[in-house]
Amino acid sequence: MQEDQIPNRVTLQHECEQFLYHAAALLDDRRLNEWHELVTDDISYRVPIRTTRERASDTEFSDTSYHMKEDWDTLKVRTERMASDFAWSEDPPSRTRRQVSNVRITDSSDDEIELTNNLVIVQSRKSETEPDLLSMKRHETLRRDEDGYAPEWINGPGLKLAEREVLLDHTVIPTSSLSIIL
């Protein structure tokens, strides 16, 4: 990277982090419809199942089995249901805190940014005294869009989520229901 590109890279990194923090806050505040407005029409959202395999295996994740495999329509149904009286697994709604960290840009063009980040979700349910902890790595593609989220210091189109693959650190999910958006 040339020296004159460093300020642009720092600005892009900060913009991506602000997008991820904003999206996390919307989910933690149960503003699900606003979160859904931050996804592209062609979103690919996958949470593959972790498998226990020998070290010689290429991957620890299934290519065919998923905890979640969503697109724009199914995410819309999910967010609308969670905001309704029919989300039995989320009644009363969970209290969550998402901690986004280790945001790393892996590739970028004028229109798209590929990145990875880590996420820990602390989830409290009903009157239980011990919260559930979910730990994961996410591979994401953010895309420039006129209707996307942009901090006030960005001049031009904001960002929307175009792709998300969530790699859970757990083989056995440590919660009674994986009904929240990761």
DSSP 153: T
pLDDT tens digits for range 95-109: 899 999 999 999 999
Q: Which two tokens stand for residue 91?
A: 């009644």
Q: By three-state DSSP, how is residue 119 classified?
A: strand
Domain-located, residue 178: no
- CA atoms of 13 and 113, how far apart (whole Å): 10
Could you report the per-residue pLDDT of 126-154, keeping only the tens digit for each?
777 788 899 999 999 999 999 999 998 88
SS3 call for 8:
helix
Residues contacting residue 99 through CB under 8 Å, at least 6 positions apart: 119, 120, 121, 122
Asked if the structure places residue 182 within a domain, the reply is: no
pTM above 0.85, yes or no: yes
1-5, 77-81, 90-94, 172-176: lowest mean pLDDT where?
1-5
Q: Which CATH number do you get for residue 114?
A: 3.10.450.50
The count of domains in the chain is: 1
What is the predicted pLDDT for the residue at 56?
55
Task: Decide if pLDDT at 88 tops 70.
Answer: no
Which domain, by its residues, includes 147? 3-168
